[in-house]
Amino acid sequence: MAVEFTFEFPLPLGLHARPAGFIQEKCQCFPGEIVWENLRTGKRADGRSAISLLTTDTRQGDPCRVMVGGQGEEEFAAGLRVFLLQELPVKEEKALSPGPEGEAMIPEILGTQKEVFFCGHSASPGIVRGRAVRAGRKPTPGELVPAADWKARDPKREILEFEKALEELKTEIKSELEAKEGTEKNILKAHLSLSADPALIKRVEELIKKDELTAPAALARAVEEFSRQLLQTKTQIIRERVADLNDVALRLLEKMGLKVGRGKETELAEPFILVAEDLLPSEFLGYRPGQILGLVLEKAGQTSHTLIMARGRGIPAVTGVAEAARLIGRGEEVIVDGNRGVVVVAPGEETVKYYQRETEAERSLRQVRREKASLPGLTADGRKIEIAANIGHPEELKKARDDGAEGVGIFRTELLLYGKTTLPEEEQFLLYRRVAEEAEGRPVIIRTFDIGGDKPISSVKLPEEPNPFLGYRGIRIYKEYYELFRSQVRAVLRAAAFGNLRLMFPMVALLEEVVWLKEQVKKFAAELEREGRPFNQSVEIGIMLEIPSVALLADKFAAEVDFFSVGSNDLVQYFFAADRGNPRVKYFNQPLNPAFLRLLKLAIVNAHAHGRWVGLCGELAGDSRLTPIFVGLGFDELSMSSAFIPEVKSVLNRLKQTDCQRLVEMAMESATAEENEKLLEDFYREQFLPELIEPVLVDLEADCRSKVEVIQRLAIVFEQSGRVGNRAVFEQALWKRERDIATEIGFGLAIPHCQSATVRTPSIGVMKLRQPIDWHSKEEQPVDLIICLAIPTGDKVRPKLQLLPKLSRKLIHDEFREALRQAKTADEVVALIKTATG
Amino acid sequence: MKLVAVTACPTGIAHTYMAAEQLERVARKLGHSIKVETQGAMGIENELEQEEINQAEAVIFAVGITVQKSERFEGKKVFEFSVQEAIKNAEGIFQKVREEIGG
């Protein structure tokens, strides 16, 4: 007697580790037997074992048969069917989307290779592989129990102590349960069942009796043994169980009188990947440069200063990874894919190879970058716009120069204070002097200490405020912390004798503030004069434009200052009254909103009218998509994380100021940011619209061994040719189409294609494989010819779009395919396709 | 046979046109008359007139999405296939249609 049902497997990534874990969990509720059979592969598995399920190689759409046998089989089978077809897809979708901040992009290979991976947000680009170290986490039970205390004198007493702790914990959890809901309640329930787990209790008592261990030591060892066993299973559910087990053990140890604090994990000798709940800038700076390979953080957010520094140093980072610090173990091998917002744990061979190819692609992109970095900061029609770097430490100057920075638009000096109790004038003088000298005549803007808001400094004890961003920060604290202010300005004036330094003040809102600041600078100069120290009399003085009042009164401020620099993050958040760190109001982060553009335009026009220049030093400056807007608005300088400089320069060199001005005039007349997104998109297409195909898109000797590799290769080539903005997005769009429809169309030909916003212009890629490969499945004819079609979204490209159907029709004809196969050079292929689409 | 057909797929840049080309090509070879309307990224092209539909012995849909303006085909014998089948096995499609309508 058994019940069975068949269904098509619904999940787009197939049956990989996470859903297998969910199915296992569901099936383990049933006392009888559950057999899973994939009718395509013919493989069978035990439904109660995630590992066994993984061996069935189940993909989306595979027909599967599930057989349920035992007490209550009918009812359970019906429930299981609903679970598989309805609940599981919802769970999967939830697991794959990391929340309101946008989606992670999951490379297909993680599904096919059944990897354990976590999704978050891409916070700093790049890919890196290394071993994990966790910061700010609880210790493991083993670390907590000193080895000296392991031997027990009286096993009976130890067992009593253990049992007492168990009872106390159970009572405690039960009372906590009453007050909790949702996820927290589920976690607590799991804890309750673990604290009554017979296997655990038996092992602990055994260790106390046989090995004569103390209760804490026995518990620590038992937990370690179970963890090791469990972690051999490659599923996320298991990882959660291990984390739970550790939590329970720590609580038991606390009951037995041990102190459990938050600590830093012992570091590895070689550079590592840092996994943490959250990482304060001071904690980040506590590591040596080069020591951190990559960052995985549980907290979301893009603009925290830790992440700004990570981007500045070229460290890949993924944020918003739920429970990362709990689920990733010390020393585990991890791949941080900062381009896609994905973290892979203990990757298999194929996945490692995939990422090696990605890294290789990044390397050749870097070569292209170096060429772009050496371009001048000029538009195609000769308008000079200085492209500068944002830095937080003198050590970043070298990278900035390598990236092509023509100066430093903002040196955020408060970062120097992290982890320090004092920073004497002399020390600052030496730092600034070093910067001035190393900049070799290029201008460096030193922004004075901006303390408060999201930048707490231990040496400056500011009162707790309900609204720190609107409170006591920036220059507002200078009267109280006068010595801090004085020593910094004096140090800058002195260092300015050795190079081209400028002074800039943060958080100015009123004209009176500028008058006061300038009086003080004059006073400090007079002091230096009296002391007979060398200094620069005529240091330019500028202010941050980050509060809307300054933008509206720019003409009056212009009479008092030499320059302005827009701090876009703060200006946007003060202008729309929406905290940039709060994901719920992230929607208001709308730099393209016409109201915001009008504000900027007004400020720039008024500043220019008084002969003052205006720069932009916020994170926005690095977004090359927005460069036409900034050129059109009339910015004189753009300062950014140096990583973005090459791309911005390359775009800048192709833009005409007059075109950009027209674009901005239109954008200021729009009603919404969304309209302007479209305007900008169209602008790009008009400006940079090349031919459908060019020789770099043709590879007649491609050495790809699998479909995964072919699609990856196409994505890389399209990105390198500049036809695709982000290869990861493009790759994902191609795979999405693969799941919708078979692109293997017979004749040994496959036509992967997609429509995606990341495609900049309709394009065709051609690839001839050295060795034919299986495309969709083994049953079909192997593929040796690949034609990739890419089109952008929107309909402005219609004239070009017409050419793709022409090519598609041609491909049906044997003669045309034969001619493509016979072609000896890329130019021949380009000519064939041009004739076919002409 | 005198036939009309509609081809359509979600992206509408590749399969739609390949299927159309294949149906036209194979029909020529087998001596059938066919007009194929494409519903792709360029919108409806080579649109079928009501008169042409009325005169056709059968209608072939080679589609992966819902056909637009399907009211034109009410009362007609419609044979639906996937676009892939039209590309890979157009001969089979014509044979099946012929058997069904007894031509």
Q: What is the CATH number of the domain that holds A826?
A: 3.40.930.10
Q: What are the chain A neighbours of B18 within 8 Å (beta carbons)? A: 745, 751, 808-809, 811-812
Q: Hey, of A741, A751, A766, A801, which one would you mutate to test binding to chain B, going by the most B CBs within 10 A of its CB?
A: A741
**Is A107 a member of any domain?**
no
Measure the CA angle with vertex A829, ends A824 and A831; round to 5°. Answer: 120
CATH number, domain of B77, equals 3.40.50.2300
Nearest to A791 among B13, B21, B25 (CB): B13
**Is B97 a member of any domain?**
no
CB contact under 8 A, A741 and B15: yes
CB contact under 8 A, A745 and B16: no
Q: Touching check for A460 and chain B: CB below 8 Å?
A: no
List of chain A residues with pLDDT < 50: 98-102
- The residues near A45 (Cβ < 8 Å, ≥ 6 apart) are A35, A36, A37, A52, A53, A55, A56
Specify whether A181 is located in the same domain as A86: no
Q: What are the chain A neighbours of B25 within 8 Å (beta carbons)? A: 812-813
Nearest to A746 among B9, B21, B87 (CB): B87
- Hey, what are A16's tokens? 């990989």
**Is B72 a member of any domain?**
yes
**Is B70 a member of any domain?**
yes
Q: Which domain holds residue B38?
A: 8-46+65-81
Specify whether A481 is located in the same domain as A494: yes
Q: Which of residues 706-765 of A touch B (CB under 8 A)?
A: 737, 740-743, 745-746, 751, 753-755
Backbone dihedral angles phi then psi of residue A27, each to the nearest 5 degrees: -70, -25
CA dihedral A280, A283, A289, A294 (to 10 degrees): -60
Predicted local distance difference test score (pLDDT) of residue A263 = 56
Residue B15: closest CA among chain A residues belongs to which residue?
A: A808
**Is B102 a member of any domain?**
no
Residue A798: closest CA among chain B residues belongs to which residue?
A: B42
Predicted local distance difference test score (pLDDT) of residue B54 = 94
Shortest alpha-carbon distance between residue A600 and chain B (Å): 39
CA dihedral A105, A108, A113, A117 (to 10 degrees): 10
Q: Which domain holds residue A491?
A: 375-687
CATH number, domain of A18, equals 3.30.1340.10
Specify whether A706 is located in the same domain as A811: yes
Q: Can you tell me whether residue A58 is helix, strand or coil?
A: coil
Residue A807: closest CA among chain B residues belongs to which residue?
A: B14
Q: Touching check for B17 and chain A: CB below 8 Å?
A: yes
Shortest alpha-carbon distance between residue A797 and chain B (Å): 11
**What 8-state DSSP symbol labels residue A86?**
I
Place of tokens 């007004």: A602
Specify whether A801 is located in the same domain as A702: yes
List of chain B residues with pLDDT < 70: 103
The residues of A that are catalytic are 16, 305, 617, 753
Specify whether A523 is located in the same domain as A630: yes
Specify whether A349 is located in the same domain as A395: no
Predicted local distance difference test score (pLDDT) of residue A423 = 87
Predicted local distance difference test score (pLDDT) of residue A309 = 78
At position A786, the amino acid (one-letter code) is: I
- Hey, what are B50's tokens? 């009501």
Shortest alpha-carbon distance between residue B59 and chain A (Å): 21
Q: What is the DSSP pairing of strand B43-45 with strand A753-755? A: unpaired
Specify whether A667 is located in the same domain as A712: no
**Is B92 a member of any domain?**
no
Select from A255, A274, A292 the last residue of a domain.
Answer: A255
User: Could you tell me the CA-to-CA distances from A626 to A120, A539, A660, A684, A742 in Å, in that order?
Assistant: 25, 31, 10, 10, 38
Specify whether A448 is located in the same domain as A487: yes
Q: Touching check for A61 and chain B: CB below 8 Å?
A: no
Specify whether A741 is located in the same domain as A817: yes
Q: Touching check for B14 and chain A: CB below 8 Å?
A: yes
Residue A799: closest CA among chain B residues belongs to which residue?
A: B42
Specify whether A651 is located in the same domain as A703: no
Task: Tally C-beta pairs within 8 A across A and B.
Answer: 68
Residue B13: closest CA among chain A residues belongs to which residue?
A: A805
Q: What are the chain B neighbours of A791 within 8 Å (beta carbons)? A: 11, 13, 41
CB contact under 8 A, A753 and B14: yes
Distance between CA A638 and CA A6 in Å, rounded?
Answer: 61
**Is B42 a member of any domain?**
yes
At position A667, the amino acid (one-letter code) is: A
Structural domain total, chain B = 1
Nearest to A737 among B11, B41, B84 (CB): B11
CATH number, domain of A301, equals 3.50.30.10
Structural domain total, chain A = 5
Q: Touching check for B7 and chain A: CB below 8 Å?
A: no
CATH number, domain of A169, equals 1.10.274.10
Q: Hey, of A808, A811, A815, which one would you mutate to test binding to chain B, going by the most B CBs within 10 A of its CB?
A: A808
CB contact under 8 A, B22 and A751: no
Select from A304, A337, A360 the last residue of a domain.
Answer: A360
Q: In terms of C-beta density within 10 A (0-12 exposed, 13-18 middle, 19 or more buried), how is residue A402 classed?
A: middle
Residue B12: closest CA among chain A residues belongs to which residue?
A: A805
**Beta-bridge partners for A168:** none
CB contact under 8 A, A812 and B18: yes
CB contact under 8 A, A809 and B20: yes
Shortest alpha-carbon distance between residue B93 and chain A (Å): 16
Predicted local distance difference test score (pLDDT) of residue A99 = 44
Classify the phi-psi angles of A109: left when phi > 0, otherwise alpha if psi is within -120 to 50, otherwise beta. alpha
CATH number, domain of A659, equals 3.20.20.60
Q: In terms of C-beta density within 10 A (0-12 exposed, 13-18 middle, 19 or more buried), how is residue B99 classed?
A: exposed
Q: Which uninterrupted H or E stretch holds A335?
A: strand A333-337
Q: Touching check for A55 and chain B: CB below 8 Å?
A: no
Q: Touching check for A778 and chain B: CB below 8 Å?
A: no
Q: Touching check for B38 and chain A: CB below 8 Å?
A: yes
Q: Touching check for A72 and chain B: CB below 8 Å?
A: no
Pick the catalytic residue: B5, B6, B9, B63? B9
**Is B51 a member of any domain?**
no
Specify whether A431 is located in the same domain as A456: yes
Q: What are the chain B neighbours of A809 within 8 Å (beta carbons)? A: 17-18, 20-21
Predicted local distance difference test score (pLDDT) of residue A616 = 98
Is B9 considered catalytic here? yes
Q: What are the chain A neighbours of B14 within 8 Å (beta carbons)? A: 743, 751, 753, 789, 804, 808
Shortest alpha-carbon distance between residue A220 and chain B (Å): 57
**Is B22 a member of any domain?**
yes
Specify whether A699 is located in the same domain as A682: no
Q: Touching check for B65 and chain A: CB below 8 Å?
A: no
